[in-house]
Structure 1
Amino acid sequence: MQVEAGPLLQQINYPSDLRSLKPNQLEEVCHELRQFIIDIVSENGGHFAASLGVVELTVALHYVLNTPYDQIIFDVGHQAYGHKILTGRRDVFHTNRVFGGLSGFPKREESEYDAFGVGHSSTSISAALGMAVASEYKGEKDRQHVAIIGDGALTGGMAFEALNHAGIEKSNLLVILNDNCMSIDPNVGAMKEYLTSITTSRSYNKFRDELIAVLAKISKNGPDAYGWAKKLEQSIKGTLLKNANLFESLNFRYFGPVDGHDVNKLAKTIEDLKHIPGPKLLHAVTVKGKGYALAEKDQTTWHAPGLFDKITGEIKKSVSDKPKPPKYQDVFGHTLVELAEVNDKIMGITPAMPSGSSMNIMMKVMPHRAFDVGIAEQHAVTFSAGLATQGLVPFCNIYSSFMQRAYDQVIHDVALQKLNVVFCLDRAGVVGADGPTHHGAYDIAYMRCVPNLVVSAPMNEEELRNLMYTAQLPDQGPFVIRYPRGNGVMVDWKRPFAKIEIGKGRKLQDGEEVAILSFGAIGNEVVKAVQYLSEEGIHPAHYDLRFAKPLDEQLLHEVFKKFNKIITVEDGSLMGGVGAAVLEFMADHCYKAQVVRLGIPDEIVEHGEQAELWKICGYDAESIASEVKKLTSGIKTDSMVS
């Protein structure tokens, strides 16, 4: 169904059209933009509450700034839907997150208005500062650079690093702090408490209402007047707030907090701030999910609710008479509690993803043993290492693509010291509609090259439980368990625990002529392929490797002695992946075979449904079966090694 935009929004194809409107029309534009987002996302899915919360801020920025010459950089990117609609993509916005359609995040290749590609947290200030310094170097003194960062993203260490650097530069940089006390789950930590103390200081709030315009006017009268005003303001702020302002201590001009839903006040404030030199921070208080009552009340559920009835708020779920297998993340969450009830050394750690990883299950049952450390993957890993030095067994659950941000800590703080930290890498492999920034494509390659690590992947829910059980047994050392986004394959998954021998794979199907070696849950596509082929009288063997490191050398010797046609299948990058490990084994032991490697190619895989991406990358069941047929018919393929 084609969604119609409101009468004002229909006139806005680009921000230049928005700037032709009168200030008294901006509130109606915000109303229509918010309704358009609700209409589209309810029918097509996507991130929801975050974009509703910044409608007024988005409109005000594009109304005041000369975009795309002036540059707006979003953090994370969940909140950029309104920005996309106002910048030439309104009529194709229904393709958002659909294969071949718009990306769910800002993307430089998609529009000149998307100044920086994002998807992960805490990058905006660094990127905006780099752009601002470049503009200053090129003599573009009038160019504005704005970083919009949520309060949750400020827990990321990179944001503090950028603030620290920006404070010593004279570049024209405006950081807008979108303060709604939420990332995906409620924010945690001292920063949240600090921002709350600022927003509740009535004396200071009254003072700052008059401060912005005064400083904007004084700044035009020369550096002496500006310096005098700055000293006066610092003195008054120190008295009213009692404690020194964190942002001021980093040499930022701090303004706020302001109402993030008063579009005209925001526009006036941003206009004034354009005339104040140097790094500035505007603190805007917003409500995630603003304008949709259910999203305002339950912001976590409505972060990305899927399809829903916009009138009743009922979230639509697929109806099936058959019981559905659980999500891998839920198997992790329930299994962790089950193990922790027996082993009092087990602790749970996640960087700001308690609901996404299902760590919230343990946090409810054992709040003193499960920690949300905020958007801080590096800290999560080294915090886990600290726990491990004291004899505890931390299960550190981080999305595969987010673990990339803590790679040095994995090596330096865990692997070198052989500490028993269990890394549970959720969303491993292609993840679907979130696309390139979130695909867990590289963890096999970047983990298997690190000494002392065990790198494993379960094929199903029972295997996930058993790997978790094995990882928490005494003297295991660093242990990686990777598993995909979405539902598994077993309805009857809660079975008694069994220890898995480290580095031991298994033969699932005996066969002839061709052997298929799979790693992880993508092995279920191999099972389907084997079933298809058996109907045509073709019977390949199927082996589940289980471990990328250490490899089951006994199993591989068996395979290479029996088969000279081999296919490896993985939901990870071909470069450095399990297939590469098998080729290394073959070369090291002087075997000769035709080997076809199936996995994520050496290119960026765009967004789409997981099954669509498996097919495009060539390792869905149909593609696997096709490769077997080619080998059995003697057709050469580009992937063969002999």
Structure 2
Amino acid sequence: MKRYGILNNITSPADLKGLSYDTLGVLCAALREFIVDSVSQTGGHLASNLGIVELAVALEREFDSSRDRIIYDVGHQCYVHKILTGRRDRFSTLRQYGGLSGFMKPEESITDPCITGHASDSVSVALGMAHARTLRNQKYHVVAVIGDGALTGGMAYEALSNAGTSGEPLLVVLNDNNMSIAKNVGGLSRHLSRLRVSPRYLGAKVRIKEKLARIPGGRALTQSISRTKARIKGFLLPTSLFEQMGFTYLGPVDGHDLKSVCELLAQAKKMKKPVLLHVMTQKGRGYAPSENNPEKYHGVSQFDRVTGEFLAKKKEDFSARFGAELCGLADKDARICAITAAMPSGTGLTRFSTLHRDRFFDVGIAEEHAVAMAAGMAAQGLVPVVALYSTFLQRAYDQVVHDVAIEGLHVVFCIDRAGIVGADGATHNGVLDIAFLRSIPGVTILCPSSFAELRSMMTRAVYHENGPVAIRYPRGGEGAWRGDTSSQPLACVRQTAGHEVTLVTHGIMINETLAAAEKLESRGVRTQVCKVNELSPALEQALAAQEDALSGLCVVVEDTVDNGGVGEWLASHRSGRTLCISTGNRFLPHGSVNDLYRHCGLDADGIAEFVMEHRKETGLG
């Protein structure tokens, strides 16, 4: 087992209290080495965790995370916090089924105040905890650690505006690395750039105030100086957005200068009001490959820690194929635009952003704005294609309803990471999109199972639909089934004469379903397989025309929740017995996709066993 020096002696944050700053610096180096070693074995979020090491150590040193509430926005930069709060020995299980979560999770430790996984909510949650502390007459500090990328999300400003005028003692730490996942964009980034070069005079200001307070009339003199300083500052420096919101602004400070960060945190703790501490960090710090390309090393699979090379060869996936197909369509049609929310590489739009720069729009972590902006484009004759992860589209539900669907506008939603995603867990598994989109009148949902179907459905979505249309596809590549039945709302892909059981599925689940059918045939159960390609009025017509073909026991297999899924729809539209194997009405744990298939009984063996059990119940076995 590799040794990590002083890190081996740290069993809890209490062990940090008596250490010198030089010793803490040695600890930070050991933490970086441990993180690189661990993540190279398990995969995970690398660059963000390397960048926050000193800040996280300072927070654990100056606060008591078992009592104080420290909330890491998004949560993918919480590895140091986990290591220092007693979970280092379990890091070999990071993001694996039954192991440590890659995000904060209260089930793991009292030091994790809430679950995190999506951006821009930390200040809201922190303010709620601060209000609870006041109303219950309790004493603890509340800290929200939010990145400049998460500050591109509108929810953060709603919270900051409310928190700044609340009077609640609350510390917001702005971890400013000029990145979200990709390079930050927009006016906020420029504002923070100006703040980074403003004078560092806070320490002197505090010392002068303390001395003036000890002399007669000192308080009045301090107030007079503050008013004069504010007037001069207003002329000479851009007014801080955060001060206008009601925060006392501290910084900016070098986030890798442990002593300075600890001193400012200590000062912030004494202030009985909303405070924002601006900390500048370098994403990927301490590991050359990550420093040189922090976007590439944001979320990683296993890699060679010496060379930085990823061990698994990159295979073409649905995201990349989507990006290539969209480029091809846009080459021939100047109306087509692409919109994403801080995820150009994750959604496969990097090449589009280069080839069609004037028609590519990265709005930052602002999905609501992305969808409403797309509505405006569509209303004026463009064809906007909005590429978002399934769980991120959840945040724009109102805009899909209010700005797009009610007017019947032609917006194409390309929903990446649909279905079971895996290692990121409950916050990222896209098991809800069919349910919430089906609830919106006029939305057509297309479910490709192969690259060929994705291509056909993209052409249809752009040129043959008039209203809102969504194409949902999984993370990763296509499976063994690579046909194209996209012209049929309901297609029979495995016909069996005299079948006893019909398996119905959609999307990538066709592969496990076909494998299950083979297993059932080997056990003497004649099984056919049908595939739903779209959820639209055309599907109802297709079912009415083929209902006789779906006679007998019908089992729907889908990697989504029960409520609002295809199984629920089919059960309400046919007279025969319809059962469903799905993720269930629950949130799934983290683990590999195959682990979660087994967990839900959605692997070929699980599907076959489900059918055999229910076949006996119906008297067929």
TM-score (norm 2): 0.94
**Aligned with 2:387: secondary structure?**
strand
- Give the counterpart letter for 1:504 in structure 2: P
Distance 1:608 1:471 in 2: 33
Corresponding residue of 1:445: 435
Q: Is 1:106–2:104 an aligned residue pair?
A: yes
Q: Equivalent residues in 2 for 1:74-85 (5 A)?
A: 74-85=72-83
Shift of 1:535: 3.5
Q: Residue 181 of structure 2 corresponds to which residue in structure 1?
A: 184
Q: 1:317: which partner in 2?
A: 312
Look up the match of 2:159: 162
3-state SS of the aligned residue for 1:480?
Answer: strand
Aligned to 1:480: 470
- Describe the superposition over 1:87-115 as per-residue Cα deviations: whole angstroms up to 9, x where unpaired: 11111122110100111000112111111
Establish whether residue 67 from structure 1 lines up as the match of residue 65 from structure 2: yes
Task: Measure how far apart 1:80 and its partner are.
Answer: 0.4
Amino acid in the other structure paired with 1:211: K
- Partner of 2:151: helix, strand, or coil? helix
Unmatched 5+ stretches in structure 2: none
Q: 1:43-86: CA deviations, max 9, x gaps?
A: 22111010010100011111111222121110011110000000
Say if 2:73 and 2:116, in contact at 8 Å, map to a contact too. yes
Relative distance call for 1:229 and 1:355 in structure 2 (3 A) is farther
Taking structure 1 as reference, are residues 3 and 157 closer, same or farther at Cα in structure 2, changes over 3 Å only? farther
Alignment-mate amino acid for residue 433 of structure 1: A
Q: Secondary structure at the match of 1:184?
A: coil
8 Å contact from structure 2 (residues 450, 481) kept in 1: no
**Rounded Cα–Cα distance in structure 2 between residues aligned with 1:56 and 1:265:** 11
Shift of 1:213: 5.3
Task: Go from structure 1 to structure 2 and tell me whether the alpha carbon gap of 1:239 and 1:314 turns closer, same or farther (over 3 Å shift).
Answer: same
In structure 2, what is the equivalent of residue 614 of structure 1?
Answer: 597
8 A contact 2:117–2:427 mirrored in 1: yes
CA distance in 2, matches of 1:217, 1:522: 71
Q: What count of residue pairs does the alignment treat as equivalent?
A: 615
SS in 2 for 1:472: helix
Whether 1:581 and 2:576 are equivalent positions in the alignment is: no
Equivalent residue in structure 1 for 2:489, among 484, 500, 504: 504
Q: Deviations over 1:433-463 (max 9, x none)?
A: 0000111111111001110110121111111
Is contact 2:420–2:559 with CA below 8 Å preserved after alignment? yes
Which shows bigger deviation, 329-338 or 24-33?
24-33
Question: How do 1:259-408 residues align onto structure 2 when only pairs under 5 Å count?
Answer: 259-318=254-313, 326-408=316-398
Say yes or no: does 1:145 pair with 2:142.
Answer: yes
Measured in 1, the distance between the counterparts of 2:228 and 2:130 equals 28
The answer to whether the 8 A contact 1:13-1:88 is kept is yes
Q: Could you list the per-position Cα deviations for residues 516-561 of structure 1 after superposition, in whole angstroms to 9, with x for gaps in the alignment?
A: 1112111121122223333444331111111123362344235543
* Post-superposition CA distance 1:6-40 (Å, at most 9, x none): 23211211111221323332111111111111111
For each residue in 1:363-389, what CA deviation from the matched residue of structure 2 results, as whole angstroms up to 9, or x when unmatched?
Answer: 011111111110000000000000000
Aligned to 2:521: 534
Asked whether the equivalents of residues 514 and 566 of structure 1 are also in contact (C-alpha less than 8 Å), the reply is yes
Name the SS for the 2:560 alignment partner.
Answer: strand
1:589-604 aligned at under 5 Å gives the runs 591=575, 593-604=576-587
TM-score computed with the length of structure 1 as normaliser: 0.91
C-alpha separation in 2, matches of 1:312 and 1:417: 53
Residues 449 and 507 of structure 2 are in contact (CA less than 8 Å); yes or no, is this contact kept in structure 1? yes
SS at match of 1:521: helix
How many angstroms apart in 2 are the aligned matches of 1:550 and 1:64?
Answer: 60
1:256 aligns with 2:256: no
Q: Which of 11, 15, 18 is the matching residue for 1:17?
A: 15
Q: CA deviation at 1:179?
A: 0.6
Q: Secondary structure at the match of 1:573?
A: coil
Distance 2:210 2:452 in 1: 64
What is the distance in 2 between the residues matched to 1:499 and 1:418?
Answer: 27
Counterpart amino acid of residue 273 in structure 1: A
Distance in 1 of aligned mates of 2:278 and 2:255 = 9
**Among candidates 550, 561, 564, match of residue 548 of structure 2:** 561
Is 1:41 aligned to 2:39, yes or no? Answer: yes
Query: Against the structure 1 CA distance between its residues 226 and 557, is the aligned structure 2 distance closer, same or farther, given a 3 Å change threshold?
Result: farther
AA in 2 matched with 1:146: V
State the match for 1:640 in structure 2.
none
Q: Does residue 1:96 correspond to 2:84, yes or no?
A: no
